[in-house]
């Protein structure tokens, strides 16, 4: 497995591989890899990628001033071993300094889908996500890139960015991976105490049989969680919908103690 730290090195290698006809898949991550990330690598393998590039970068630009950028868990050695075992062929560990040169002044802003949900509560978050993902696309030259459904709004925004900016890249969205308890896998689950973990189970339970957003919010509050939002939206446009019905997505953000957790459920037709 190749290990790249310099953006230019990854870019030169991936350019050559693309010219040689390789189908490159990109799996963008912030590291501290868990089964959810491994499932993205598996999805890339299944789709016949010749090269699977996993990027591991805690992107400072997508964190707000009072968020967990410093505290976000990091473990480079474990990530290396997990990528190797899962069959990734390259891993990219850039630094903030080599991703954002002095006077970096160009950002990508999606102006519609980012307005609500996490975008409303985390100003600038999706600007940071779109910017870093666009940079990673230019560095890794992927034919397709795999994102997790857990970050539902993010996946929709990236699809829109790809459409609107004519990136020649297919966006693959891979299902949420859950712990046996139902809790959606997340690197942030490591922040949870045992008690908070138990309270957090209310999220997947409520989403398993969603009746109304008010009922879900009540279930979360009675489990001791602090609701940030529970919303039902059109699964594609993310416009608010009154009723939970086929073609909608129910999204939840809630705090267990200080940890903000997100989850969602798409209501299939
Ligand atoms: O979903 C994430 O882990 C991040 O938002 C991403 C896509 C790697 C961009 O930093």
State phi, psi for 204 to the nearest 5 degrees: -70, -35
Ramachandran assignment for 224, one of left (phi > 0), alpha (psi -120 to 50 degrees), beta (any other): left
pTM over 0.85: yes
Active site residue 34: no
Q: What is the pLDDT of residues 75-92, one digit of tens each?
A: 999 999 999 999 999 999
The count of residues in the chain is 269
Question: Which residues lie with the beta carbon below 6 Å from any ligand 1 atom?
Answer: 28-30, 59, 62, 129, 132-133, 151, 154
34, 37, 103, 141: which is the annotated catalytic residue?
37
The whole-angstrom separation of Cα 167 and Cα 150 is 23
* Distance in Å, CA 200 to ligand 1 centroid: 22
* Distance in Å, CA 132 to ligand 1 centroid: 8
> Looking at ligand 1, which atom is closest to the CA of residue 136?
9
* Distance in Å, CA 30 to ligand 1 centroid: 6
- Residue with the smallest CA separation from ligand 1 atom 2 is 29
Stretch 99-109: mean pLDDT, rounded?
A: 98
User: Which residue segments constitute the domains of the chain, with CATH numbers given?
Assistant: 2-174 (3.40.50.620), 187-261 (3.30.1300.10)
Question: Closest by alpha carbon to 254, among 204, 180, 190, 181?
Answer: 204
Confidence category of residue 138, pLDDT binned at 50, 70, 90: very high
Stretch 192-201: mean pLDDT, rounded?
A: 98
Q: Is the pLDDT of residue 269 over 90?
A: no
């Amino acid at each position: 497995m190749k290990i790249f730290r310099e953006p230019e090195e990854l870019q030169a290698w991936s350019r050559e591989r693309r010219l040689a006809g390789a189908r490159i898949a990109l799996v963008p991550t912030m590291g501290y890899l868990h089964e959810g990330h491994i499932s993205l690598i598996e999805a890339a393998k299944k789709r016949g990628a010749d090269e699977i590039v996993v990027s591991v970068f805690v992107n400072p630009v997508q964190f707000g001033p009072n968020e967990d950028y410093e505290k976000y868990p990091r473990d480079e050695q474990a990530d290396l071993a997990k990528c190797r075992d899962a069959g990734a062929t390259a891993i990219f560990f850039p630094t903030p300094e080599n991703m954002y040169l002095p006077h970096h002044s160009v950002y990508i802003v999606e102006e519609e889908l980012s307005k609500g949900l996490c975008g409303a509560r985390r100003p600038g978050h999706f600007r940071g996500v779109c910017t870093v993902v666009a940079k990673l696309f230019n560095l890794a030259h992927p034919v397709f890139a795999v994102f997790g459904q857990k970050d539902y709004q993010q996946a929709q925004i990236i699809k829109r960015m790809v459409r609107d900016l004519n990136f020649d890249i297919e966006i693959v969205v891979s299902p949420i991976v859950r712990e046996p308890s139902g809790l959606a896998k997340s690197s942030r689950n490591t922040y949870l105490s045992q008690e908070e973990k138990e309270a957090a189970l209310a999220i997947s339970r409520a989403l398993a049989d969603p009746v109304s957003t008010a009922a879900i919010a009540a279930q979360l509050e009675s489990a001791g969680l602090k609701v940030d939002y529970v919303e039902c939206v059109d699964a594609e446009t993310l416009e608010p919908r009154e009723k939970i019905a086929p073609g909608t997505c129910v999204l939840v953000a809630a705090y267990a103690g200080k940890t903000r957790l997100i989850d969602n459920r798409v209501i299939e037709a």
